[in-house]
Structure 1
Amino acid sequence: MMHYHLTAFRALTLLWVSPALANCPVDFNFGSIVTSIEQADTCEQGINIARQCAFGSTADVMFVNLASEKCLTEIAPLTCNQQTALDDLRQQCRDKYAEFEGTIYRSFAAFCELEVIEAFHSALSDPIDMEF
């Protein structure tokens, strides 16, 4: 019985990690991914690296935090109401997966928070100046 559970777990892990191995634009190791997100030129680049190189574990929390920091530095300081809304939405992501055990659920919560950050970034970024 235990052998079956381990085999099933390995199969699920391969299903999660295999796409990341194929899509990750940098060397698929923790240090390279962290460095690439830190050195990304834009929020979108940082988010793409975090998503494409996800481990499906608590390591993703670090990737998401780095991408989130990059995104938040690209927008004007948040008002008190905006910060409260952001904090509330991020907490909802944490709460959504809090009752589940396993590192993959920490990853799910982190990427849920990243979607919130991405939405705030999109809504609050300065529009592109276009001269005609």
Structure 2
Amino acid sequence: MRLRSCLAALALVLLGGAAHAAEECPAKSTSMDDIIAVLNAAPGCDRAMKLFEACEYGASGDVQFGEIVEKKCEADFLGHLKPPQKLSYQRELRVCDRKYRNKSGTIYISFTAFCRAEVAQRYSRRALKAGGAGR
């Protein structure tokens, strides 16, 4: 009984902390154009991803937001990939595309957009770490 109480309290603390850690979307409104402007103005991949998370629709509109994040992240690495690495990157993106393809609902389109953006972010972070650059 005591263990359950402790676990319940821990869960509340963790969930409460996560809710406070979430960033508010800084766009002027929830219109797609305003969110796209904020994403385009992001100084780099990681910031663009944070903004994507903060401004997401949870629906098919996230595809456009995710594409902006992918492009920002790809700027850090795509031109430097050797052909086998580029194929590996494209393969990981295709895995994202297939992951939810048999699911119905626009939330799964959003999940795919996030998956693709996360793949691009991972490659960006690796490239920046290897190059010693920080953004």
Q: TM-score, normalised by structure 2?
A: 0.74
Superimposed CA distance per residue, residues 63-113 of structure 1 (whole angstroms, 9 cap, x where no aligned partner)? 010011011112361211111111111111111100011111010011011
Pairs aligned (count): 109
Equivalent residue for 2:113, pick from 104, 110, 113: 110
User: Residue type of the partner of 2:118?
Assistant: E
Counterpart of 2:18 in structure 1 is none
SS at match of 1:90: helix
Counterpart of 2:93 in structure 1 is 90
The one of the two structures with greater contact order (alpha-carbon pairs below 8 A, sep at least 6) is: 2
Task: Determine the C-alpha separation between the residues in 2 that align with 1:79 and 1:51.
Answer: 30
Equivalent residue for 1:122, pick from 116, 125, 128: 125
Counterpart of 2:51 in structure 1 is 49
- Runs (5+) with no aligned partner, structure 2: 1-22
Task: Determine the C-alpha separation between the residues in 2 that align with 1:81 and 1:91.
Answer: 15
- Which residues in structure 2 correspond to 1:1-132 (within 5 Å)? 23-27=24-28, 28-75=30-77, 77=79, 78-125=81-128, 126-128=131-133
Taking only the aligned residue pairs, the percentage that are identical comes to 26
Task: Determine the C-alpha separation between the residues in 2 that align with 1:128 and 1:30.
Answer: 32
- Runs (5+) with no aligned partner, structure 1: 1-21
Task: Determine the C-alpha separation between the residues in 1 that align with 2:77 and 2:66.
Answer: 17
Moved over 3 A (4+): none
Task: Determine the C-alpha separation between the residues in 1 that align with 2:76 and 2:125.
Answer: 10
User: Residue type of the partner of 2:27?
Assistant: V
> Following TM superposition, by how much is the alpha carbon of 1:127 offset from its aligned partner in structure 2, in angstroms?
1.0
RMSD: 1.9
Task: Determine the C-alpha separation between the residues in 2 that align with 1:116 and 1:26.
Answer: 25
Q: TM-score, normalised by structure 1?
A: 0.76
> Following TM superposition, by how much is the alpha carbon of 1:128 offset from its aligned partner in structure 2, in angstroms?
3.2
